[in-house]
Amino acid sequence: QTVVTQEPSLTVSPGGTVTLTCASSTGAVTNNYYPNWFQQKPGQAPRALIYSTSNRHSWTPARFSGSLLGAKAALTLSGVQPEDEAEFYCLLYHGGTWMFGGGTKLTVL
Amino acid sequence: QVQLVESGGGVVQPGRSLRLPCAASGFTFTNYAMHWVRQAPGKGLEWVAVISYDGSDKYYADSVKGRFTISRDNSKNTLFLQMNSLRPEDTAVYYCARARSFGAANSIDYWGQGSLVTVSS
């Protein structure tokens, strides 16, 4: 049973920088897992932020960036804004099927 | 603009069936694979299934394999999720989502607003 793991919660100050990570129980996350990142605010549908490790969608602010960090996928938020407070989910491809991580609740405080 | 509108949700008894449609507009439906994703109340996102642009490739999460079927009607720009043998743990908001391109290996760019399915006696 494959498991995708994220930090349950993180806190960051406004204007600060924070990195969220995403690991797979199958081994090191590589570009072949096509890592994706989504943001979800309470009562709303999720919104896509990053696809294929590091590509922003046309609507994604430049302060969001994706990368591989060691054996994990990573989402870095630089110059955090109060409106960035939300739940963040990664999504990994496992040869035909996809799997979400458990989500990271980001608090801006 | 891309629009995805789910419908068909409601309360259903355990063991019964339900079919969710998702009406797509604002893009050429036949060019894109499509996903279903669900979210139980107060829980995280769970990927459910994906179908390629022409319906030739379909993949499912282990939790729904053999019970749920994803399909599409490209003549009506509509995606479907047929859910059989429903269980209380299938209670969730079900989201229809567009893939970035035609193949099932493409992830999600646009989401619908979701349809709530409650499985309860």
Average pLDDT over every residue of B21-43: 98
pLDDT tier, A71 (very low <50, low <70, confident <90, very high otherwise): very high
Question: Chain A residues with CB inside 8 Å of B104's CB?
Answer: 96
Q: Are A11 and A107 in contact (CB under 8 A)?
A: yes
pLDDT tier, B80 (very low <50, low <70, confident <90, very high otherwise): very high
φ/ψ of B30, rounded to 5, equals -70, -10
How large a percentage of chain B has pLDDT more than 90? 94
- What's the pLDDT at B105? 85
Question: Chain B residues with CB inside 8 Å of A57's CB?
Answer: 109
Is pLDDT at B106 greater than 90 in this prediction? no
Quote the distance between the C-alpha of residue A89 and its chain's center: 5
Q: d(Cα A87, Cα A16) in Å, to the nearest integer?
A: 17
Is pLDDT at A8 greater than 90 in this prediction? yes
User: How many beta carbons lie within 10 A of that of residue B81, not counting itself?
Assistant: 26
Average pLDDT over every residue of B15-20: 98
Is A36 within 8 Å of chain B by CB? yes
Is pLDDT at B103 greater than 90 in this prediction? no
pLDDT digits (tens, 9 = 90+) for A14-68: 999 999 999 999 999 999 999 999 999 999 999 999 999 999 999 999 999 999 9
CB within 8 Å: B110 and A48: yes
pLDDT tier, B102 (very low <50, low <70, confident <90, very high otherwise): confident
CB within 8 Å: B108 and A34: no
- What's the pLDDT at B92? 98
Q: How far off is chain B from A68, nearest CA to CA, in Å?
A: 18
A75 Cβ contact list (under 8 Å, min separation 6):
A19, A20, A21, A22, A37, A49, A50, A64, A65, A66, A88, A90
